[in-house]
Every structure is written in structure tokens, then in C-alpha cells.
Amino acid sequence: MRVETKRTLKRFFRNPSAIIGVSLLIFFTVVAIAAPLLAPPLNPMDPSRKVHDPFTMPKVTWKQEPVPPTSKADAEKAFIAKGIAKMLYEKEKEDLVPLALKVVENLSSEELYRVYAKVSPLKSKIKEYLKTVKDKLKKAGLENPDTYINSFMTNDFLLACKKALEGDENFPQVLKSLASEIPNLRKTYLIKIFKEGFPYLDYDHAISVSKEFLKVDGNVIDFLMEKGYIKRKPIRCVDYHIFGMIDGRDIFYGVVWGTRTAFRIGLIVTFFATLIGLFIGSISGYYGGWIDEVLMRITDVFLSIPFLVAAIVLTTFLGTGLDKVMIAMVIFGWMGTARLIRGNILQVKEEQFILAAKALGVRDYLIIMRHVIPNTIFPVVIQASMRMGSLVITAAALSFLGLGAPTGYADWGSLLNYSRNWLLGAQGDVFKYWFALVYPGTAMVLFVLAWNLLGDALRDTFDPRLRG
Amino acid sequence: MEKQPILRVENLKTYFYTEDGVVKAVDGVTFDLYEGETLGIVGESGSGKSVTSLSIMRLLDEKGKIVDGKIIFKGKNLLELSEAEMRKIRGNEIAMIFQEPMVALNPVYTIGDQIMEAIMLHQNVGESKAREIAIDLLRKVGIPEPEKRVDQYPHQLSGGMRQRAMIAMALSCRPSILIADEPTTALDVTIQAQILDLMKELQKEYGMALIMITHDMGVIAEMADRVVVMYAGRVVEYGEVHEIFKKPRHPYTYGLLSSIPRLDVEQEKLKSIPGTVPDPLSFPSGCKFHPRCEFAQERCKNEEPELVEVEPGHFSRCFFWEKLKELEVK
């Protein structure tokens, strides 16, 4: 037996398609297992919090709907603000406002997003900084340092500072020295905020900052962030989201967690469909007669129902969702196996060793389990491994029709579904959003290919009769 | 002294209901089998010998039905037993070995597994004990290095080895009857002799009765004590082996015997029985052998002869058996 196993393994691994298929599958398995490490399921707005369900892709969101600038003046200010943001981001120049006026080009959503991407780790640092300010104020004997902090950037506070600098005796000494630092502090803070992306600080902070320094309404800032765009438009952002983003979601995250989804769909559906197929096919093939007739006609009925129509009908009363789609795929996916196993059993049934086993008084179910199935199972295993891949495609097709995974589910099909609006790219640049399609698409192709190669290799190894 | 038969087949009729019509594969077969003896059933392909054995085991497929008759084994009519009771008899009381050792063993299990399956099924023993018994059996049927062979797969064994393993499997529960359906047909001549010797030896040792189904008169001469000659689902001659060989009383038996090549007589061409076995869906009227019979007369076409006792214990289904007696005198 050991020798035989060794020989079989040797034959298996001498097959190039087996090597490619198995290595691809190992790769996908590793990715699926290491998904929490590769793409931590963290809230992008606050990396210290975990997301509720890792299979729901975390999404970048804002608290308010964006409001476009209403007046011409606002629009100009917004434009200048944008320019400042860009200048600050790029050059860290001190004397910025006059330069900003010269900025003419738009800051694209991608660039703004880049700003955002860097802020998350820095946000806590700014908080810390504010805390030291608060401590200083406390030490100075202020009863309500929070109000000072809150009014840190307001005119009242500035007035207070001015007063202090002008020599008001009632103002505490420490605060006086602090107030003297204020202009510098404000500058640093401003730079930091722009550099690191102010909309990702507390929303209120952002508004106060923008009001104070840019004289622009907070809502306008939101609009500048092109929230609506970020939500839907694919964004390429190599330094933070290596596969880019689409619909406010990280494509890399989707591809990594989608591996788990793919395995789940493939394994569960194949397992149950094969089980049902084996059960029905083996009973029908072994007993024959009217049982065979009835079961095979049922199989024919199921085969005659178009799968997509059936899946649509089924989801109308089961509801949509990945599990429902999986149920539909099991219910309408067992017939192939049943027919295959029945045909094989009809062949094996006539073999003399079955008769020999019967002549030894072996029970029917033991004959099926021990003698019939082991001699007929290989084509089924091969078919199952081939199906593993194609099931993922079917699930993707159903997602495409809106029957599959819910919006934002980490699934390759859903990712491709998002990118279908951007397939044509931007005007004048057909390949602008290539990444939205190529990464999840490649993952899916490789996954299907891996199973097909494995199936081929299994067939060549175990069932040389089927070799084409 | 009248011995009690261990197995008595009485007027067995097994018909196959096919789409083209009813095939009377076995039509009124009667014979006895005594303890420890070897009964040969001989006939051409399609004469119903295999169906007879499958009927005894009740292993016919769904189209085959035993429409009439009795199969009395140790006082019980096997045809009246439930399927569960019948399963206890199969393998345990009546075992069977098949023609093709190449395909009668399951290719996915080691021969040890398959022998142990039979042992564990009928004897209440654990796996390690069953393995010991299996190795013992393999040694007994003359397989060298049984400890090694027990873990080998059927394809690693030669045809003769496989037939030995089949015999070991059949004997695993010490059955009182062993039915051997053409056990040597698929084997080399040298291996044939070895297997036949082995079966004889084991029969003596186990004291079991043996039903030897074959188309080879040589095997019958070697093995059988008594012979049933079948033609087209009927017993045409039945008697002691010496009687049959020396004084055949049916032209079919006569034909079979004369088609054995002989070295002591100068022959230009091998003798053979002209024609072929008739189509089971449309047997000829009267004596079913008459179209091929060199002694056929008008009466044979219209009337079917009864099985008559031509000598004590020797039966023939021919109107003109006495003519053969004359032939022998010549």
C-alpha cells in the first residue's frame, strides 16, 4: 500500500498541471488563512476599532452629506483652500496664502485621499498634543481647560491671547507664555491638519479650522473632499491601498477576504451538492427498476429548469444573500453528480466482484459503501474539483444580477460588480481604472484555473481511461 | 445405504423476463448433491448452468425470476427464506467462486481486506484475529509469503494467485457447499491443474460438497463424482461420472465426449457438434437438441422426451438412448 501510494503521488507530482494547480491552491489557502493579518479588519476612520463583520468590507464614510458652494465667493475660497491644501502637502511652505492664490489646478480626489490615508496614525498624536496643552492650562490654574481647548482656534481665545500679550495683569503667567506661542502653534497645527488631512480629524475641528483660517464653510470643505466621488470612483493609491479603492472600499481587502468567501462557496456547495448527487445517484444506479426510473425523472426535471431562472425564483422567497445563493446552487447543482455516479454504478454493478461480495452474504448498503462507491468515486472527485472553480464564477454571475452577496460583501464577484461602471475608464484614458477590474479578476481566474488544473491532474493520475 | 442429500434441487425453473420475451434459462432442473461429493454440471455456453448456480444462491438480477421448484438445503427450502436469512447462508453455508479471477476481486482493496470482510461478516472475530485467519487461509491455498501477499492488491497478483485468493475467500467460513463456476476457464493449463488439485485437497480437508460448473469435459473427468449434463435449460443426462464417460446415453453427451481431442486415435479433423445452441427466445419444438442431433428422427421434432432412468442412477432425456448403446458395442 505504501509503495502504491508513493507511486501514485510520484505520478501526480510529475504532472506539471498538478504542480501549478496545487501551488496556486496552497497560495490561496495561505491567503485565506492569513486574511486577518494581511488585511486587518479595522475601521478605516479609526484604526483602533475593529469592524463588526470582517466579511463586510469597511467603508470610508463621512458624517454629513456634502454641500456644494452656493456663492461665487465661496467657490473661490474653496478653490483657494484646495490649493493651499495641495501646496502644504507638497512643499510645507510657511508663507502660503499668497502662493495659494496662484494655485490653479484641481486637487484630485486621489490626492486628497492620499492625505487622508496618512492621517490615521497621526490623529492620536494630535490628540496627545492637545492633551499637553490641556495639562498646561490645568497647571496654570484654569478651572475649565476644555473650554479653552475648544475655543483654541476661536476669535474669543485669540482676543484673550491678545489681551494677555498686551499686559492684562489678571491673566495667568503660564498662559501668557503659552499665548505668546500661539501664532506658531497655530501654524504648526494648520500645517499638520492640511498635511495630514483635516477632514479626518474630528469633524467639528475641521469646521472650526476652516472657518478660522480659510474663511470657508465646513460643508464646502466636505464638498472639496469629493465625498460623493470617493464613495464610488475607483481610486488608485499605491502607498496605502496597494490595489486601490472602489466605492470607498479597499480592493486589496476585498481580494484577500474574498479568498475566504470563494473557498466557502466552493467547498460548501460542492460538498452538499456532491453528497446529494451521490446519494440519489447511487441509490438509483444500484437498485435500478422503478426507483431508478422515479429518481432519474426527478433529475431530468431539475436539469430542465434553467439555473439562473430557478435561482432568481428561489431568492424571491428565500431572500437575497450569499447563503441563499449557496442553497440555490446546491438545489440545482447535484444532478451532474447523480448522473455521473449512476452511470458508473451501472457499469460497476455488473462487475463480478459485486456478485462475489453478494455471494459472501454482504449487506446491500455495505456493498454500496465498500465496493461500489470506492470504484466509482474518482470521476466524482475529479468532477467536484473542477466544479469548485466554476461555482465561484456562478456565484459571481449571481452577484452581478444582484442576487448574490449583499453590497460591500468581501467577494470577488461583488468587487467586479462595482467595477463594471468603470470598465470604460475615464474620458481619454481607457485604462484609467484598470486596477478595479484586474486585481479581483486575476484572483478569480487563478482560483478557477487552480481547481481545473488540479482536477485534470487527478484525472490523469487516477483515471487514465479518461485521459484525452 | 441411502444417503440423505445435503442439497436437493427439484424441478427448478428460472425465467428471465426480457423486453423481447421470456427466456427459459433453466426449465425444470432436478438433481441431488450429497455430502462430500463433487457434482459436475457440464454444458455449452447458454445451457443454463450458471443460472442454476445463481438460482441456488438467489443472486439473480431483477429480470430473472425463479418461477417454480424447490431448493432444499439441510431440510430448508431456500426459496422460502427471507433475504436476511439467505444472507446468513451465502458465504457461510454455501460459498461460490467465479470464472474470472481478474474481475471477481475488488481492485481497490487488498486481498487481505476482502478475505477479512468475509470472516468478520460471518464469524464474530475482531480485526487482528480475522487477519490471522486470512493469512492462514492464504497459506492453506498455497500462496507463498502470505504475510506479504495479504497486503497486496489484486492487480499485483497473477491469475492463478487471484483464483487461490478467491478460494481462500470462499472457504473463509468453512461452507458445506462450494459452487465453483468455471473456476479454471480463464487460467493457463498448468495453473488449471494446480487449482483443481488444490480444490480437491481442500474439499477432502473441509469435507464439503462441491458443485463444479464447467464446459470442459476434462475437468469433469478429473474432479466429478457425478455429472449433470445440461442443454438449453434442461438436464439431458445425469449419472455417475464413469457411467457418463463410458456409456453416454444422450447424443449430446456423446457429441461432447467425441469432440475431446485424442492422441491415441488418428484424427484428421476434430469432431464437433454441428450448429449452435438455439436462441433461448425460440427453442425448437420437441426435443431441443434435435436440430443438431445425428440420430434425430421425426418423433424428436414433435415430442419432448422425458428424463428416463436407463440404468440405476443414470438418467437420459432421449427416446433413442438404446441406439447409443449399440453404437458403443460397435
Q: How far is CA B73 from CA A314, B37, B269, B301, in A?
A: 59, 15, 45, 37
Kindly state the average pLDDT of the residues A173-178.
49
Reply yes or no on whether the pLDDT at A437 is more than 90: no
Please tell me which of A49-63, A428-442, B150-164, B199-213 the model is most confident about, judged by mean pLDDT: B199-213
Burial string for A141-171 (b: 16+ CB within 10 Å, else e) reads ebeebeebeeebbeeebbebbeebeeeeeeb
The whole-number pLDDT of residue A94 equals: 39
The whole-number pLDDT of residue A220 equals: 46
Instruction: Using a CB–CB cutoff of 8 Å, tell me whether A169 touches chain B.
Output: no
Single-letter residue type at A167? G
Q: For residue range A293-312, what is the model confidence (pLDDT) as tens digits?
A: 999 999 999 999 888 888 88
Confidence of residue A64 (pLDDT cuts 50, 70, 90): very low
Given an 8 Å threshold on Cβ–Cβ distance, is B121 in contact with A361?
A: yes
Residue of A nearest to B105 (CA): A353
Kindly state the average pLDDT of the residues A17-33.
93
The whole-number pLDDT of residue B266 equals: 72
Reply yes or no on whether the pLDDT at A115 is more than 50: no
Residue of A nearest to B87 (CA): A361
Cell numbers given for A224? 472639496
Percentage above 70 pLDDT, chain B? 97
Cell numbers given for A289? 427498476
Beta-sheet pairing, B177-181 with B209-214? parallel
Going across the sheet that includes B209-214, the strands are B94-97, B177-181, B209-214, B38-42, B226-231, B234-240, B314-316, B308-311
To 5 degrees, how large is the angle CA A181–CA A185–CA A187? 125
Question: Any idea which of A140-149, A378-387, B85-94 has the lowest mean pLDDT?
Answer: A140-149
Reply yes or no on whether the pLDDT at B30 is more than 60: yes
To 5 degrees, how large is the angle CA A287–CA A288–CA A293? 130
Name residue, grid cell 481619454.
Answer: A428
In chain A, what residues touch B82 (CB-CB under 8 Å)? none
Given an 8 Å threshold on Cβ–Cβ distance, is B108 in contact with A374?
A: yes
Instruction: Using a CB–CB cutoff of 8 Å, tell me whether A369 touches chain B.
Output: no
In chain A, what residues touch B95 (CB-CB under 8 Å)? 359-360
The whole-number pLDDT of residue A46 equals: 55
Percentage above 90 pLDDT, chain B? 16
Mean pLDDT of chain B: 86
Going across the sheet that includes B21-33, the strands are B21-33, B7-18, B64-73, B76-77
Name residue, grid cell 496643552.
Answer: A133
What CA–CA distance (Å, rounded) separates A267 from A26? 15
In chain B, what residues touch A356 (CB-CB under 8 Å)? 96-98, 104-105, 166, 169
Q: How far is CA B154 from CA B146, B158, B180, in A?
A: 14, 8, 19
Confidence of residue A51 (pLDDT cuts 50, 70, 90): confident
**Cβ count within 10 A of residue B302:** 10
Reply yes or no on whether the pLDDT at B211 is more than 90: yes
Given an 8 Å threshold on Cβ–Cβ distance, is B104 in contact with A370?
A: no
What CA–CA distance (Å, rounded) separates A5 from B238? 53
What CA–CA distance (Å, rounded) separates B130 from B290? 54
Residue of A nearest to B86 (CA): A361
